[in-house]
Amino acid sequence: MRAMLLKDPDAALTMAEVPSSDLGPRQVRVVVSACGVCRTDLHVVDGELPNPKIPLVPGHEIVGRIIAAAPDVERVKIGDRVGIPWLGWTCGQCEYCRQGRENLCRNARFTGYTLDGGFAQEAIADADYVVPLPDSYSDEAVAPLLCAGLIGWRALKAARSPQRLGLYGFGAAAHIVAQVAKHQKREIYAFVRPGDQIAERFAYEMGARWAGPSNGPAPVELDATIIFAPVGDLVPHALQAIRPGGIVVCGGIHMSDIPQFPYALLWGERTLRSVANLTRADATEFVAFASQHLIRTTTKRYALKDANLALADLRDGRLTGAAVLIP
């Protein structure tokens, strides 16, 4: 099959013909019809996440149909349309797995990072970790839901039901979370790169009550904020925007260093926390929600061979919404 390979961290992907691997126990083979390009893919390719599998096929917002299954697979069947998300396998035995916090499993394997992903014509996944997808979405439209949507869902839950929610960085994840929050009757305030009028207009289109520069003050006191931009300098701004007892959630897997800030910004029982990965329960909950409430994903389509261009557009802030590769 054809695949885009990362042969060296911090280097461009290269197109290659690679052999299809044999299926192991409980695995399925999926012919890829779409694969979203996530900021985590960018962190992997740019060498900001340590110890990726090398060579690696990136991509963890994978949509396709099962074309083969190991004999012991019962949960799904050949012909099913499924998604393959970031969480690819957990041990099931550690304290975190036993407590229902498999997202923190120290032995976990991740699609497009420690397992080959979906920047390819085919992908292999553990059948217990694939996500059955609703028919109400096209392949291209549903792809961003598999990470931008899932991590946004988990981040929104970590924000503990805010009425007034601030979103820092209005890209793939934020434009999905904004719609979810609007369905939940919450107020959305979007913080974007200073001077980025395109992002401001996009935020208003997605239901924001207000949009403005990320380095400026909030127009009202917020209950919680979620930071999707990987910029540590935004943390003090987000803390300053929330009320006493409010929460700042860092939604990314990687962030630049957080600068020093006065204790007064944290005082008043404000909370600063991160979210890590996702669980299969998150996927079940979010897909059920997305089945009941149509989430409009804004996407830009790229050919598989143009994966480096998609990554460059994401890196340089040229995207509105999410990039999706169509093999």
**Residues 199 and 137 both lie in one domain:** no
pLDDT band at 93 (very low <50, low <70, confident <90, very high): very high
pLDDT number for residue 8: 87
**Residues 314 and 246 both lie in one domain:** no
User: What percent of the chain has pLDDT above 70?
Assistant: 100
Pairing of strands 164-168, 131-132: unpaired
Number of H helices, E strands in the chain: 9, 17
**Residues 181 and 112 both lie in one domain:** no
**Residues 13 and 125 both lie in one domain:** yes
- In three-state secondary structure terms, 189 is strand
Question: Which one, of 234, 242, 226, 239, lies nearest residue 193 by Cα?
Answer: 234
What total number of domains does the chain contain? Answer: 2
Q: What is the CATH number of the domain that holds 22?
A: 3.90.180.10
Question: Which one, of 2, 24, 22, 6, lies nearest residue 14 by Cα?
Answer: 6
pLDDT band at 280 (very low <50, low <70, confident <90, very high): very high
- In three-state secondary structure terms, 4 is strand
pLDDT digits (tens, 9 = 90+) for 214-261: 999 999 999 999 999 999 999 999 999 999 999 999 999 999 999 999
**Residues 198 and 294 both lie in one domain:** no
pLDDT digits (tens, 9 = 90+) for 134-192: 999 999 999 999 999 999 999 999 999 999 999 999 999 999 999 999 999 999 999 99
Tell which of 235, 255, 274 closes a domain.
Answer: 274
**Residues 207 and 317 both lie in one domain:** no
Question: Residue 212: enclosing H or E segment and its boundaries?
Answer: strand 210-213
**Residues 169 and 52 both lie in one domain:** no
**Residues 180 and 123 both lie in one domain:** no
**Residues 125 and 162 both lie in one domain:** no
**Residues 308 and 238 both lie in one domain:** no
User: How far is 212 from 2, CA to CA, in rounded Å?
Assistant: 43
Q: Which domain holds residue 208?
A: 149-274
**Residues 302 and 222 both lie in one domain:** no
Question: Which one, of 308, 310, 278, 290, lies nearest residue 129 by Cα?
Answer: 278
Q: Is 176 in contact with 146 (CB distance < 8 Å)? A: no
User: How far is 67 from 95, CA to CA, in rounded Å?
Assistant: 35
**Residues 57 and 180 both lie in one domain:** no
The answer to pTM > 0.85 is yes
Question: Which one, of 183, 173, 169, lies nearest residue 153 by Cα?
Answer: 173
Q: What is the CATH number of the domain that holds 267?
A: 3.40.50.720
In the predicted structure, residue 319 carries a pLDDT above the cut 80: yes
